[in-house]
Amino acid sequence: MASTMDSVDAKPSLVEISARTWLLRVRLPGHSFGSVNAYLLDSDDGAVLIDVPWGTPDTYAELLAQVRAAGVEPAALRYVLLTHHHDDHAGAAGLLQSEYGVRVAMHAAEWRALRARFEDGGGFAHVLQQWLSRVGADPAGAEFALRQYAEIASRTRPVRPDVVLADDEVVSFGGRRIRVVHAPGHTPGHTCYLDEDLRLLFSGDHVFASRRANATSRPYAPERPLKEYWASTERLLALEPAVVLPGHDDPFDDLAARMRVLRAVYDEKRSEVTQLATTRSTAWQIAARMRRRRAWSELDGNARLAATGEAEAYLLDALDAEMVTATKGRPVLWQTTSGVSG
Ligand SMILES: [Zn+2]
Ligand SMILES: [Zn+2]
């Protein structure tokens, strides 16, 4: 394990994690992590990939080169198991499907979210607009979000799964058994996979070794992103994995310790947004007041939307804990229950 712990840069790399199990670190130029981790699991009866990077020509070629470097021919791939539909984890799935007949598998809830997002003929723009007015986005922010969605939709070819997975199902091949663990939070159908014999937990975007994972509020996110996130976390802890293999960043072994650190950060953030709702405020306004390294005025449209989604997720969590109240209608106005009335 020592070698994987050391490989923090974004160079392409192939690391043997365990017997016939490799981490393929594929570069994603311009991505905030700089790379994504795909995992290759080989057996006497074919191989499986957990997640695949973007389907751009260079990235796809780098993936295939790494699969071959591990001694596996792409034609021997039987499945791609997706943790979720984001293009840094699923982008090349359609290419492997059409070129090599690899069967693509994802959780039923993720397939529903993917279809709603890209295949319902303009319905998403309406849902996005409703969300923007709910959080109180300013006109420039709303315009940015709608334009950004149109761009993403125009370049996205959603992959159709050959296999729709259910929670707790076991995918078996060549004597290996991979359990499907539905872990919503980051997305509604976000799925972790457990290699039952080796106790390896492939954790997608649920948790990283050093950075905070995101479970934020946005269209087609879970209704209560953080509530689901922490419920999923309890399930993952109960699996007692020996090693956690995340979708970005380095593998690590003590999941409970990592989640304790994150819990403290989440609790602190939740009380911060609660404090900021002293006068009736929208999620957008509260996001603008949150402490961060760069001032709100310096954030681009994307960063403002992300910050607002994060603020709303904490506010929803605070609402369940009766730390804030929320008005009905759009925009939703938040107010702390202990603060000054305004
Ligand atoms: Zn993601
Ligand atoms: Zn990701």
227 domain residue, yes or no = yes
What's the CATH number where 72 sits?
Answer: 3.60.15.10
Q: From the CA of 189, which ligand is nearest?
A: 1
pLDDT, position 117: 82
211 domain residue, yes or no = yes
Apex CA 52: angle with CA 33 and CA 201, to 5°? 80
Mean of the per-residue pLDDT values of the chain: 92
Q: From the CA of 214, which ligand is nearest?
A: 1
201 domain residue, yes or no = yes
Ligand 1 mean position, distance from CA 221 (Å): 11
pLDDT, position 114: 87
pLDDT level of residue 6 (50, 70, 90 thresholds): very low
Ligand 2 mean position, distance from CA 12 (Å): 16
Q: From the CA of 85, which ligand is nearest?
A: 1
Q: What is the mean pLDDT of residues 153-173?
A: 90
Q: What is the mean pLDDT of residues 297-307?
A: 95
Full domain range(s) for residue 74: 8-121+150-261
pLDDT level of residue 276 (50, 70, 90 thresholds): very high
Q: What is the mean pLDDT of residues 36-60?
A: 96
pLDDT above 60 for 243: yes
- pLDDT tens string 315-339: 999 999 999 999 999 999 999 997 5
Q: Which two tokens stand for residue 32?
A: 């905030």
pLDDT, position 36: 97
275 domain residue, yes or no = no
285, 136 contact by CB (below 8 A):
yes
301 domain residue, yes or no = no
287 domain residue, yes or no = no
pLDDT above 80 for 121: no
247, 37 contact by CB (below 8 A):
yes
Q: Could you tell me if residue 282 is left (phi over 0), alpha (psi between -120 and 50 degrees) or otherwise beta?
A: beta
Ligand 2 mean position, distance from CA 6 (Å): 20
Ligand 2 mean position, distance from CA 339 (Å): 37
Domain count, the chain: 1
pLDDT level of residue 256 (50, 70, 90 thresholds): very high
Q: Which of 100-109, 149-158, 315-324 is least confident?
A: 149-158
Q: From the CA of 33, which ligand is nearest?
A: 2
Alpha helices in the chain, H assignment, sequence order: 2-6, 57-69, 87-90, 93-100, 108-118, 123-135, 139-155, 225-238, 255-276, 283-289, 301-320
Q: From the CA of 31, which ligand is nearest?
A: 2
Ligand 1 mean position, distance from CA 203 (Å): 11
Ligand 2 mean position, distance from CA 31 (Å): 9
Ligand 2 mean position, distance from CA 86 (Å): 7
State the Cα–Cα distance between residues 198 and 19, nearest whole angstrom. Answer: 9
pLDDT, position 125: 86
25 domain residue, yes or no = yes
335 domain residue, yes or no = no
